[in-house]
Chains A and B, each alone.
Chain A
Amino acid sequence: MKVTLTVWRQPGPTATGKFETYEVDEVSEDMSFLELFDVLNDRLVGKGEEPVAFDHDCREGICGSCSMMINGRPHGPELGTATCQLHMRKFQDGAKITVEPWRAAAFPIVRDLVVDRSAFDRIVESGGYITAPTGSAPDGNLILIPKAVADSAMDAAQCIGCGACVAACPNGAANLFTAAKIMHLNLLPQGQPERWERVTNMVQTMERYFGSCTNHGECQTACPKEISIDFIALMNRDYIKAQFKQRRLASQRG
């Protein structure tokens, strides 16, 4: 098949960017969207032109590096799919496809489609862990966890930190990412000791870089892991509780 790719080209962080259009033919339907870019780049290099810079690593939907705004949607039109898992058979022969980098103040463009997502690292550093002594592995069933809790924590823990939620959000908010990173710990018994500190610190770090949620719901539609905005509500609940909570009573239940 053949596609017309319109791609954002920007030589560096402070350079002026613009769209370039490329006709790419002999595209296999079985290629992934990233392989389409591999083919394009091979041909560009062959012609002595600069290849398009784009982030990628695992190419199996688990690392979260591939970040592209495809036809106005993060990771393209397929639900629950990262760019690396999007196949060309999802497009019509002769399709016109526009590709742009994520746009947010906290995700400055490094080059072409590559953005710097280290603001996410600042959020995780501020509380996305539990403090536990290392050493030999504890017994398997020492801490019992209800099935529904384990399932829900796993749903949140699926977040791969790709940034599609921020890219999709009209407000440039990172509430879905932050909620996922907070709640996968705050739901579990192991996360309880630092629960209130975690939500306070991570939310406040998030707010330094990102916009504020107005509950449009674009993020959960864009999320390649289909993480639900239910977690945003749970994060809001924990954040407000944490502000009123007496810290010295934090171990008390109820």
Chain B
Amino acid sequence: MTKVSEAPKARLERPVHPAPKEGRRLPFIVEFYGSAVAKKWLMAVTGIMLMGFVFAHMVGNLKLYFGEKSLNHYAEWLKEIGEPIFPRTGLLWILRFVLLGAVVVHIVSAAQLTRMNRRARPDRYQAPRDYAAATFASRTMRWTGVIVALFVVYHLMDLTWGVGGAEWTSGEVYQNIINSFERWPIAIVYIVANLALGVHLYHGGWSMFQSLGWNNGKFNDWRRMFAIGFATIVVVGNVSMPLMVVTGVVN
């Protein structure tokens, strides 16, 4: 039994999304953000920025396999990039703030669009739906996104701020990673979070092309392959590290 629904008229007069204000012009960026299609476009743009970070972060960290010196030297170099035009760690901080901004836009848009979608379907179907095209990944974007976000907070606590419970020394990147990943429960957290990221990217890495309007019969088939390829590379690279450490292959 469903709850009593409103009369048709009343329902249509209460929109799921506010209409653009007539007359008064708001700053361009505010008006632009007012649209759901634009929010989705921003999610794709920020998604690409996050994908760029995720990829570079993974490639950099694979120096774990080249030994302590190599990894620590790379970590040191990150602080120097942009010198001498920027002061030491200057460019790094700029990149960090850009990334933080992207994360905020991505998550706030996702939350607002989710709310809009709930309002657009207030009464659920009363009989089971038979989905024909939606995938596990596309239907769990919100969950995999939240898992990744929570994981990132833990990951920063663990390896950047050193408050994750393992023995931690500033600058000793290699040793800090070993100390953390040697703990089975923590290795599993890292592995599960990266699998969630992979699922997120399986849909996101394809969906972003649609949101950006990059649709062309000449390359449409490649969009899904790109998503699969990118997600696989990120998952294999990131999962390998905790796996190799916890099984004692790297120590």
Q: Which residues of A contact B (CB under 8 A)?
A: 6, 8, 13-19, 69, 71-73, 77, 98, 100, 103-106, 108-110, 116, 118-119, 168, 170-173, 203-204, 207-218, 220-222, 229-230, 232-240, 243
Contact = CB atoms under 8 A, between A and B. Distances in A.
A132 B102 CA distance: 44
Given A214-B141, A236-B212, A221 B41 contact: no
Contacts of B120: 104-106, 171-173, 209-212
* Most A Cβ at <10 Å: residue of B12, B37, B138, B203: B37
6 A-B pairs closest in CB distance:
A237-B213, A211-B120, A233-B215, A72-B130, A172-B120, A172-B121
Interface residues of B, number: 59
Nearest to B118: A211
B39 interface: yes
B117 A19 contact: no
Contacts of A98: 127
Contacts, number: 185
B2 interface: yes
B124 interface: yes
Contacts of B128: 72
Contacts of A229: 210
Nearest to A215: B207
Contacts of B1: 16-18
A72 B12 contact: no
Interface string B1-43: 1111111100110011111100000000000100111111100
A105 B120 CA distance: 5
B83 to A, nearest CB: 36
Given A6-B127, A108-B11, A171-B120, A214 B213 contact: no
A118 B12 contact: yes
A8 B121 CA distance: 17
B127 A69 contact: yes
B117 A218 contact: no
Contacts of B249: none
